[in-house]
Structure 1
Amino acid sequence: MTHTLFIKQLASELGFDHCGIAKAVQLDEDARRLETWLNKGMHGNMQYMENHFDKRIDPRKLVDGAQSVITLLFNYFPSAQQREDAPRISKYAYGHDYHEVIRAKLKTLLLRMQEHIGPVQGRGFVDSAPVLERSWAQRSGLGWIGKNGNLIHKQAGSFFFIATLITDIALEYDSPVGDYCGTCTRCLDACPTEALVAPGVVDGSKCISYFTIELKDQLIPDKMKGQFDNWMFGCDTCQDVCPWNRFSKAHQEAEFTPIPAILNFTTKDWEELTEEAFKDIFRHSPLKRSKFAGIRRNINFLSD
């Protein structure tokens, strides 16, 4: 219990908004769901989703002797929004790349644990390894998986990054909470491309985020014309319409302060952006994941 309290207090000091802990076990039910999802081809061209299946469903294959999975939520809801007449960008990409920011915090968390507790072994992950983050967040009492496939926290909504620290020490474990989506279907009804094919099931091969970010070096199919609702990088529609996000509050992380260009660029500014300027303005941004060619493709697709 002492170690658990120390970890949760330290997580808060490092800026994480919520911390939950679950016992490291094999996720049999998730394994069945993932296998079905893959067999239906809902991962599209994201072949990496097929890799390391055994590690995805069992954290003990990622960390020897793993006993606990610590899940941390980091708020990214911005205080300012884009111009309404500009190509739309998912809110998580307004500031600096979250991988870099949160990975540093995870390293600090593990180092401080080792200093305080002893020879703790562990590995931290943030959207960069075969880890079922949302399932672990749900198991550790941080919320439920909504009909839009996102983790929803009852007091704070869903605009969170999820980080995971798998460790070889036993801790006090949290209990899952209930599902509070009820009969609401706003996300299912609002999805521009009908990618939400069932409650909690996202057909990734239909998702705007897939087409604008994951679909590397390929043209977006013509059949998707007119369906993107002006989303140029990612999509927040299913979160924007979720009633639970009325509880979202602006984050306090300086690294996630919106890049001025994201708030101020007009459609014309994006269309006239050069590769040199892109590399300079967005050198620390998640937008670099799509590279200049991908951003240019997405803008052209919206304007055609």
Structure 2
Amino acid sequence: MEQIEKLIQRKALELGYEKCGIIPVHLLEGYKEKLNERVQKVAESEAFYKGKQHLAHFEKEFPWAKSVVVLTVPQTQYKVPEAVGGHIAKSYLFDSRVDEQTKEHQHSLSLEAYMKELGLRVSTERKYGIVGLRWAAMQAGLGIIRRNNFFYSESGSWVRLEAFLTDRDMELIEKPRFTPCPKNCDRCIKACPTSSLCDAYTMNPLRCVSFLTTFSGRDLPQEPLAADFGEWIYGCDICQEVCPMNHGKWTGSEEFPGLTELAPSLTVETIMKMDEEFYRQKVQPKFFYLTPDELWKWQVNALNYMNNNYQEHFEQIILEACGSSFEKVREMAVAICKSHEIHVEKELASYE
């Protein structure tokens, strides 16, 4: 009879996963050291990495876990709509973790069901991962972590990682054949607009554009780094785009379910006009890092784009935002008016 590891791998590949590996849980122990190393290198990131500690101590919640099935899901086959290209990071545009319309999400459900049919006890966490995903994938031999901190498979860095804990002793590890980053390559570090990448394999997450436009950035009007966000509204791809190891990886041959229809609603102009019901129904479920009550943050991000890339036709939108029902939107809009001398102080006074 075929080994259970091979059965799982074969099923995963049939479903469309790029790669599948399986590691015993003891190979995850090094993740704790990596978290501590990050804090030692960037002390101010301690609170951020404290939020990741549960991934290093998963055994407290899952004492029965004996192995981890790790998988890679490429995103490079999808087309980037022109309206959002360079403004919303690709990993968020093609996120299938909670999007039931996508084949990737359905494949994940199917693989979980298949493993249970094999008699395994299985658990996963699709949004944020049940273990340290990049570390687990590297331990399984599925790829390599490069100097920009991203995990790379043959598809480059635009791959989503997925993991399932199981209650069976299993092991299926590949022998990776990846060329490491040249020691003298610092393109990603030099290109990072906010110097979040402060050294190879090191970053300050509190300075990252992706972090500041999604999880954090609760006070973007007062954020000194906001001026360095360039054209990014939600997330950032710069350190991946400049990486030579990503060159030629994006094929963009397929449509992502629903994205072509949604993309026109994600320009800076339409974000500023978006109503809360549309946001809750159409946008928030896809970009779930922001809550159903955080349309205001999208609008602050859009205003920040307008400030960084100012054009005269933005003027009326910015003035209207001065009367927004959201405090932070008003605060950002008024600051932009003063910065770009939009209208006169008399007119601004009516908004303050």
Alignment match of 1:109 (pick from 111, 116, 119): 111
* Structure 2 residue aligned with 1:122: 122
Residues 124-273 of structure 1: pairs in structure 2 closer than 5 A: 124-129=124-129, 131-153=131-153, 155-175=154-174, 177=176, 180-183=180-183, 184-215=185-216, 217-245=218-246, 246-250=248-252, 254-255=256-257, 258-262=259-263, 266-273=267-274
Aligned to 1:4: 5
Question: Residues 289-300 of structure 1 correspond to what in structure 2 (within 5 A)?
Answer: 289=290, 291-300=294-303
> How far apart in 2 are the matches of 1:85 and 1:128?
24
- The CA distance in 2 between the partners of 1:37 and 1:294, in whole Å, is 28
Query: TM-score normalized by structure 2?
Result: 0.74
User: Unaligned regions of 5+ residues in structure 1, if any?
Assistant: none
Q: Secondary structure at the match of 2:206?
A: helix
Q: Which residue of 1 aligns with 2:310?
A: none
1:205-260 Cα shifts (integer Å, max 9, x gaps):
010011100116433543113211211001111111122222234476854x5243
SS of alignment partner, residue 111 of structure 2? helix
CA contact (8 A) 2:79 2:256 kept: no
Higher relative contact order, structure no. (Cα contacts within 8 Å, ≥ 6 residues apart): 1
1:41-75, CA deviations, whole angstroms, 9 ceiling, x for partnerless residues? 454764xx42573x422544343332211111112
Cα deviations by residue, 1:75-127 (Å, 9 ceiling, x for unpaired): 22353334379770011222565234456543432321222x32x11211334
Query: Structure 1 residues 87 and 156 mapped into 2: Cα distance closer, same or farther (>3 Å)?
Result: closer
Q: Taking structure 1 as reference, are residues 79 and 130 closer, same or farther at Cα in structure 2, changes over 3 Å only?
A: closer
Evaluate the alpha carbon distance shift between residue 221 and residue 146 of structure 1 in structure 2; reply closer, same or farther with a 3 A threshold. farther
Q: Judging changes above 3 Å, is the alpha-carbon distance between structure 1 residues 130 and 198 closer, same or farther for their aligned structure 2 residues?
A: farther
TM-score using structure 1 length: 0.84
- Is residue 15 of structure 1 aligned with residue 16 of structure 2? yes
| Inter-partner Cα distance in structure 1 for 2:179 and 2:58 | 25
- The alignment's C-alpha RMSD in Å is 2.9
Partner amino acid, structure 1, of 2:111: L
CA contact (8 A) 1:106 1:165 kept: no
1:287 Cα deviation from its structure 2 partner? 5.7
TM-superposed CA distance for 1:35, in Å, is 1.9
Amino acid at match of 2:142: L
Asked if the contact 1:77–1:250 (Cα under 8 Å) also holds between the matched residues in 2, the reply is yes
Matching residue's letter, 1:50: K
The sequence identity of aligned pairs, in percent, is 21
Structure 1 position 303 matched with structure 2 position 306: yes
**Match for 1:110: what amino acid?**
E
Asked whether the 8 Å contact 2:76–2:158 carries over to 1, the reply is yes
Superposed CA deviations along residues 248-288 of structure 1, whole A, max 9, x for unmatched, are 34476854x52434267543333333333333442542167
Report SS of the residue matched to 1:25: helix
Distance 1:88 1:287 in 2: 17
Report the CA distance shift for 1:35/1:74 in structure 2 as closer, same or farther (over 3 A).
same
Return the letter of the residue paired with 1:297. Answer: V
Question: In the TM superposition, what whole-angstrom CA distance separates every residue of 1:129-168 from its partner, at most 9, and x where no partner exists?
Answer: 5521000000001111111111011x21011111111111
Between Structure 1 and Structure 2, whose CA radius of gyration is higher?
A: 2
Between the aligned partners of 1:135 and 1:157, the Cα distance in structure 2 is 16
Where does 1:25-64 land on structure 2 (aligned, <5 Å)?
A: 25=26, 27-38=28-39, 40-43=42-45, 46=48, 49-51=49-51, 53=53, 55-64=54-63
> Per residue, is there more strand in 1 or in 2?
1
| Structure 1 residues 158 and 262, CA gap change in structure 2 (3 angstroms) | same
Match of 1:79 in 2: 78
Q: Which residue of 1 aligns with 2:338?
A: none
Matched residue SS, 1:72: strand
C-alpha distance in 2, partners of 1:27/1:85?
Answer: 37
